[in-house]
Chain A
Amino acid sequence: MHYIALIALLLLSGCSDALVRVMPYEKEYFAQDKMSLSPLDERAEQEGHIFLIREASAGGDSSFQGGCGCR
């Protein structure tokens, strides 16, 4: 009886909010361009520039006047 109760509890835990599984057909919003980490090349370059500054590395990747963070 205890085993059955334990198994039933385990199965029911699948219905809890903590275990939300996004199914492939529910990924409409994830597929949008704005959901990508770097939707624009220009933004990706800028993000790279800021990342290098924060990491205290010399140079600013492909952006000019990098290093100090000022442009």
Chain B
Amino acid sequence: MPILTQIHANKENTMKKILLLIALGLSLYAGISKGDKAVDFDLKSLDQSKSFKQTDFKGEVVLLNLWASWCSGCKEEMPEFFKLQKEYKSGFKIVAVSIDKNADDSQKFLKSLEDEMGYETPFVTIHDGKKMLPKAYGAVAMPSSYLIDKNGVVRLVIVGSLSNKDIQELKQEIDKLK
């Protein structure tokens, strides 16, 4: 091989290596996106009475919502989740994961909402005080929600709070996956 061609080939190889390294580096910062497997967890309910795993919800469409009592956007959308879960008797579950350090703060907020809505919290509530799930999902906003299909694959990543109109669109997605 002529020397000039060899130098050119070496440079190309180096460039490829650099690009690969950058891609690897960037992948370290990336969170869960559409098509990825949902993160498995083993966490307790808000009242610490039950344990839940991601696999417990296999066969059901799940809306995993990351929220906190100190997050105003999270509190705004919560009444919509109460109504949404009431509409689906089976095949769809909302799993609200509170990342409050103190579970009592979340319970106090949900209690006040229950009084306002006139019924008990209709969905699963989980406590993640160590913020394991937002870290694993790479949540870029609070609240963040993930629509997970029956096989545990993330089908939709929702950044920020959902309005009534967004909920209507979400319902279409849920019906498709059910």
Contact = CB atoms under 8 A, between A and B. Distances in A.
Interface of A: 1, 3-4, 7-8, 11, 14, 23-28, 31-32
A4 B18 contact: yes
Nearest to B140: A24
A7 B71 CA distance: 38
A23 B25 contact: no
B43 to A, nearest CB: 15
Given A3-B14, A4-B14, A31-B70, A24 B21 contact: no
A32 B72 CA distance: 11
B25 A24 contact: no
B25 A25 contact: no
Interface of B: 14, 17-18, 21-22, 25, 29, 66, 68, 70-72, 99-101, 131, 134-135, 139-142
A2 B133 CA distance: 38
Contacts of A31: 70-72
Given A25-B99, A27-B142, 5 more contacts: A4-B18, A11-B25, A25-B135, A31-B70, A31-B72
Contacts of B99: 25
A28 B140 contact: no
Contact of A28 (B25, B29, B70, B139): B70
A41 to B, nearest CB: 19
22 contacts: A4-B14, A4-B17, A4-B21, A7-B22, A7-B25, A8-B21, A14-B25, A23-B134, A23-B135, A23-B139, A23-B140, A24-B134, A24-B141, A24-B142, A25-B66, A25-B131, A25-B134, A27-B70, A27-B142, A28-B100, A31-B70, A31-B71
Contacts of B141: 24
Nearest to B142: A24
A26 B140 CA distance: 11
